[in-house]
Structures are given as structure tokens and as C-alpha cells.
Amino acid sequence: MKNTYFITTPIYYASGNLHMGHCYTTVFADACARYNRLLGKDVFFLTGSDEHGLKIQRAAENNGMKVEDFVQNRVDHFKDVWKALDISYDKFIRTSDPEHVACVQKILQQLYDQGDIYKDYYKGLYCVPCETYFTESQLVDGKCPDCGRPVEEASEEGYFFKLSKYQKFIDKLIKDDNNFLVPESRKNEIYKNFVKPGVSDLCISRSTFSWGVPLPFDKKHVAYVWIDALVNYISALGYGSNDDSLFRKYWPSDVQVVGRDIARFHTIIWPILLKALNIPMPKQIHSHGFLTQKGDKISKSKGNGFDPITLSNRYGGDTVRYWLLKDGPIFNDVPYSSELFVKTINSDLCNDLGNLTSRTTAMIAQNFTNVVPEPKTVVPSQDDEFIAMMNGVKAKCDDAMKDQRVDKAIEYIFDLVRYANKYIDMTTPWSLAKTDKDRLATVLYNLHQCLSIVATLLQAFLPQTADKLCAKLGISKSDFSNVKYSRDDYGMVVDKGEPLFVRYDVQKEVALLDGEIKEAVAPAPKPTKEKVKEKEPKQMITIDDFDKIDLRVGKVLASEPVENSDKLLKNTVQIGNETRTIVSGIAKYLKPCDIIGKNVIVVCNLKPIKLRGVESCGMIICAVDETCDKLTLVTTADDIPSGSGVN
Ligand code: ME8
């Protein structure tokens, strides 16, 4: 039997900052990965960044950064967040990785060659400023859901993936395989809304921007970002490369964790893509709900995110992990607020676990000079149930974790913690200290055993807390395959030390967090001052110098993007009787339709130069602001014949 466990998160859009909602997916997957490692499985845990597409190209432009620098900056940010939350990924894939790009191209070529991709016209409702097609149902009040402007019917040439050919397959997979998509409610929703009505062929190419993976059979198009992104789950394992040993070892994936907004991509496009490639299906797509704030999904576009680094710096990464794993949206949406967060730290981590730890270690310190005593007097009516709980908790966690029920596993562990606190109240060790040292020895021994079991199990969920707890209890982590009550683990030296968790004043923290968080969730960084070139004042010239420049009015007859460049436009400009080709670096700001037919001012006596293989004879004058955010053509106030002089 395979002893591997391959778990994935979605790859995050490299556009903005990560918020608590994003962290849910990854912390959840991390807990599953860690638990399975502890069970002795050979685990591969994959996460990464989704870096292509118009949105990201635009985000980079809006930040005045080269897109390559922008995505690198986002990846650094993602890795900082994952470090703060102790995410133990085995690989961080980037869709800009050359190996990934090669894999996407290989797959597209295969699908094209086997007739699963064909060329046609894409028809839809197009938002010109956003350069994006929408379906009727995606519109908000009949307008673009992103910018709110009117959309228009449009069509363009594109390549289509024959999803419809696989209708029968996908119908059976979603309807009959109860394990493929969990929870059941999501499976029913996807089936009813997307599968039953029939899947349509999918346009998998875009030609209106260039930041993407070029189609190998038509380089004028780049791959639709979802096709590019989904392939990460197998390109990361070397699928289709010279070394596909990881793919052979770990595929099919055991669990792919996704939020409910992207479940349909993972349960329709993804399995069909795999089927077309004759690759076995993932064993399970686990689709969780959203963290919400005031009823809305926490999202970067709404600016209602909560910054995980701020929280983890102030309270520790494990507090964030605990809140997400215990109260996070395992299936349904759940609300998040600073108040809920701080209250949970106080009640569960500080009161329940923290107090149990300090009471136990303090009493061992006080009564047995820090050394865990040998158990003596047993009182079955008090001890049996406690011992049974200690012996049963691991099996219950194992059972829960077979279905990725992280929430249940945490609950079982904390039920034990709460029971242990009750055991203290029931056995009153502070009285035993005066009356019955032998019984006290057993009670404190049992509490120490309980905390050792808790520490061992917590490794998967709260790794830092587990380490600290072990240090306090004077134990090394025990064997995960044998988490049981024993009567022979005494003699260790405990270290009372600092409390495990601090108790917070809820009101004060909420006021602070809500202020701090607002500032912390800043958009992606703007370029530093040094990056924006200040315009140096130029040297004075004489009228004779100026006279050397041959400026004339031209009329733009045609304009088109230069192949393989996202910056250059090749313009055909009429200047009097002459027609010239002039290449301008303005594609980032202006589309051909913005300049065709316009009068422009041309520097006519500039030496010709070749740009991307195209000879450019002259220069079109533009006005550009200091930060290079805005560029506009310099034109004539009234119409005037082309060739007219400018002086
Ligand atoms: O969707 N609560 O990336 P992404 C819970 N690049 N989960 C949330 C959430 C919230 N408020 N907001 C976002 C993408 N998420 C694609 C994935 S995979 C081949 C491509 C979750 O950065 C969201 O549901 O927009 C998704 O699972 C993950 O964060 C990444 O979202």
C-alpha cells in the first residue's frame, strides 16, 4: 500500500497582501500535512503563487513596477506570512518557473494535437477598460463586476478546450463519487448549477495581453490563467519532464484544499483536463467556506482583510493557527473579528491549556522539587475515566484526521484539557498536599501524563506550543504511534517558567487591533522614491540647437502591437506625402485604437533604429508624468494637414 500523502493548497494570486481568509486554506492544509508526517507517511505539501494574467500585469503597472519585480515582491511577502505561521510546505511553486511554463506548453500541445483544443470565436460581454469578458450572470446590475462600467457585446478569435466532450465523465464523477468532492452540500451545489445544465467548451487563450504562457501552437495567444494555474499541481511533481519521479511517487493527490469560490474550477476543468491527459483523478477536493466580516467574504478587493503578520507578531503564530483551525470555516462560512480572536486566546489557550500547564508544573515544583513523582495511590472512581480519555484521544484524532476533520481533532484534544482541569477541581491537590502525599503524587503524575499526550498531539496543530510544552514538562516528544497512558514515565524535571499564553484585555486589544490592522493591510508596495527617476533639468540650448530638430505633424494610419513585446506599438504614420513606420514604447498606456486617426507630433530627423526587429524612423512625442503612471499623446488643437511644421 502507498504510504505517501500529497496535499495541496491553491496557488495564491500574486496581486495583493494575504489576509486571514487566505491563511485558513494554508494553515488547514499544514495541519493535515504535519499530522500525516507524524503518522509516518511520506508527505509532500505543495503551495505557491499564481503569477500570470491581466490582473497581475495591471497590479504591477499600478504600482509602477516591472511585473517580474512585482511578483517577486509578492512571493517574498507570501513566504514571510507562511514563515510567521510555521507552514511546513515541501515545495513553493511559481507559475513563472520555467519548468512549469514548459509543462503547461507541453500539455497544451498534446491537447491540441489530440483534437481537444480547437480554434473559434469567443463571444461575450466585454468590458473594454478591464479587457475582460463576462457572462450575463457574472454582471452586477448589467455592468462590469470589476469596475462597474457598461459592457458591450464583442467577439475575438480564441482557442477552446472541448469540455463538452467529457460531459458524461464529469457527470458520473461528481454524482457518483462521494469522496471526490467534500462536503456533500458543495457537491450537490456544483452538480446542480454547473454539471447538470451541461458544461460548455472553455476559451483557454487570451490575446489582449501578453503576461502569460504563450500557446505553443500560436504564440499570439497566452494561456487562460486557470489552465496555467491548475497545471501547477502536476508540474510541481515534474510531470512531463525528464525527471517525473515525484509525479510517479505522489500522484494521485490525496487532498486538494480549495475555498468554495474556486471549487468549480477544481471539480470540472481540473478533472476534465486530467482525464484528457489520461491521468488518474485526485482522491479528494476539500472545499472550505469563507471567513467573513459583517456578512461579507474577507477579501483584498474589499479592503476588509486582517493582517496575519500583525496578529502573529503580537500574539504568536500558534494563536492564529489555533483560531483558524478551531473556529475557521471548515465547510460553512464563519465570521471573523478581533474580538472573537482575542476571546478565544483568553478562554481556550490561556484559561484552559495555559492554566492547566502552570497549575501542574507549579504543584510539581512546590511539592516534589520539580521532579515528576512516581504514581502511588489510585482512586478508580476519580482516575479511570481520566485515563480512559487519555488512552482514547489519539484514536479519535486519527479517525477525525482520516477525513481531514482538523476541527474535531482539536476539539478532542481540548476536551481532554478541560477534563484535566475538572480532574484538578475534583481531586483538590492543594488539600492532598497537606493530607495525602501518595495520592498527590498520582494526581500530579496523571496530569503530567495528560499534558505529555496533549503536547504530542498538538505538534500537528500548534507546533511552537507543543515544543514549549515539552520543555516545561521535561519530556522529548513521545512516539506518535504509541500515545498512551503509562505508569512508568516519572523522574523528569519540570520547568514552570513563563506562562504558555498571556491573558489579554479584550476591549483594549480590539481597539488596538482594529486600528493597527487597518494600517497594516496596505496595498502592495509602491516603488521607493529612488526608483522614480526625478527629471534632471536639462542644459540650455540656443534657438539654432532647437532648429536642428525637424518636428512635424503626422497622422497615424495604422497601429499594432510588436510581436513578443508588451511595450511596443508599431505605428504607420503619414507625414505629408511620405509614410513611415515609427515604433513607440507606449503599449502599456495606449491601445492601437487610442491612436489610429490621431494627429501626432513627430521628430522626423531622428536616426532610424531597430526595435525588436522593426526599423523605426522617427519618434512620436508624448507627455508623461513624473512617476510614469500616466502617458498621453501630444496632438494638435485643431486639424491641420499632415507634414505641417511644428515650431
Ligand atoms: O483563487 N475565506 O487565488 P486567491 C476563506 N489563484 N478562504 C478565502 C478567503 C476568505 N475570506 N478569501 C480567499 C485563487 N480565500 C487562484 C487559485 S489554484 C489552481 C488557483 C481562499 O489568492 C480562496 O478560496 O484569490 C482560495 O482557496 C485561496 O484563498 C486563494 O485565493
If you take atom 15 of ligand 1, which residue's CA is the nearest one? 22
CB-hemisphere CA count at 13 Å for 410?
A: 23
Residue closest to 129 by CA, chosen among 145, 112, 116: 145
Q: What is the pLDDT of residues 382-424, one digit of tens each?
A: 999 999 999 999 999 999 999 999 999 999 999 999 999 999 9
Q: What is the pLDDT of residues 283-292, one digit of tens each?
A: 999 999 999 9
Indicate whether 177 belongs to any domain: no
Distance (Å, whole) CA 292 – CA 602:
55
- What is the average per-residue pLDDT within 10-35? 96
Give the pLDDT band (50/70/90) at residue 130: low
State the closest ligand 1 atom to the C-alpha of 292, by its place in the atom list counted from 1: 11
Residue 386 and residue 420 in contact, taking contact as beta carbons nearer than 8 Å: yes
Give the pLDDT band (50/70/90) at residue 482: confident
Both 357 and 436 in a single domain? yes
Report CA(492)–ligand 1 centroid distance (Å): 46
The three-class DSSP label of residue 249 is helix
Mean pLDDT of the chain, nearest integer: 91
Report CA(259)–ligand 1 centroid distance (Å): 6
pLDDT at residue 544 is higher than 80: no
Both 400 and 536 in a single domain? no
Burial (CB count <10 Å: 0-12, 13-18, 19+), residue 131: middle
In SS3 terms, 164-197 reads as HHHHHHHHHHHHHCCCCEECHHHHHHHHHHHHCC
Indicate whether 138 belongs to any domain: no
Both 343 and 470 in a single domain? yes
Residue 546 maps to which CATH number?
2.40.50.140
Distance (Å, whole) CA 362 – CA 529:
55
- Which is more confidently placed, 636 or 240? 240
Residue at which a domain ends, from 497, 525, 553 = 525
pLDDT at residue 533 is higher than 50: no
CB-hemisphere CA count at 13 Å for 222?
A: 19
Indicate whether 488 belongs to any domain: yes
| Domain count of the fold of the chain | 2
Both 466 and 567 in a single domain? no
Both 405 and 541 in a single domain? no
- What is the average per-residue pLDDT within 303-331? 91
Both 476 and 552 in a single domain? no
Indicate whether 644 belongs to any domain: no
Distance (Å, whole) CA 155 – CA 133:
9
- Which is more confidently placed, 610 or 623? 623
Indicate whether 140 belongs to any domain: no
Report CA(13)–ligand 1 centroid distance (Å): 8
pLDDT at residue 174 is higher than 50: yes
Report CA(88)–ligand 1 centroid distance (Å): 19
Indicate whether 37 belongs to any domain: no
pLDDT given at position 453: 97
pLDDT given at position 627: 59
Report CA(9)–ligand 1 centroid distance (Å): 9
Q: What is the pLDDT of residues 181-191, one digit of tens each?
A: 999 999 999 99
Q: What is the pLDDT of residues 546-597, one digit of tens each?
A: 888 899 999 988 888 887 677 788 888 899 888 899 988 888 788 877 788 8
pLDDT at residue 354 is higher than 50: yes
322 contacts: CB under 8 Å, gap ≥ 6: 344, 345, 348, 349, 410, 461, 462
pLDDT at residue 526 is higher than 50: no
pLDDT given at position 463: 97
Give the pLDDT band (50/70/90) at residue 474: very high
Both 342 and 404 in a single domain? yes
Both 578 and 441 in a single domain? no
Test site for ligand 1: of 262, 265, 269, 306, most ligand atoms within 8 A of the Cβ:
262
Residue at which a domain ends, from 525, 542, 561 = 525
- What is the average per-residue pLDDT within 49-58? 92
pLDDT given at position 531: 37
Indicate whether 35 belongs to any domain: no
Distance (Å, whole) CA 170 – CA 338:
42
Structural domain of residue 624, as residue ranges? 527-633
Cell numbers representing residue 265 in the block = 474550477
Both 390 and 489 in a single domain? yes
pLDDT at residue 457 is higher than 60: yes
If you take atom 18 of ligand 1, which residue's CA is the nearest one? 10
Residue at which a domain ends, from 473, 493, 525 = 525
Residue 453 maps to which CATH number?
1.10.730.10
Both 359 and 457 in a single domain? yes
Residue 86 and residue 25 in contact, taking contact as beta carbons nearer than 8 Å: no
pLDDT given at position 535: 46
- What is the average per-residue pLDDT within 19-41? 97
Indicate whether 234 belongs to any domain: no
pLDDT given at position 158: 93
pLDDT > 70 fraction of the chain, expressed in percent and rounded = 94
Both 520 and 399 in a single domain? yes
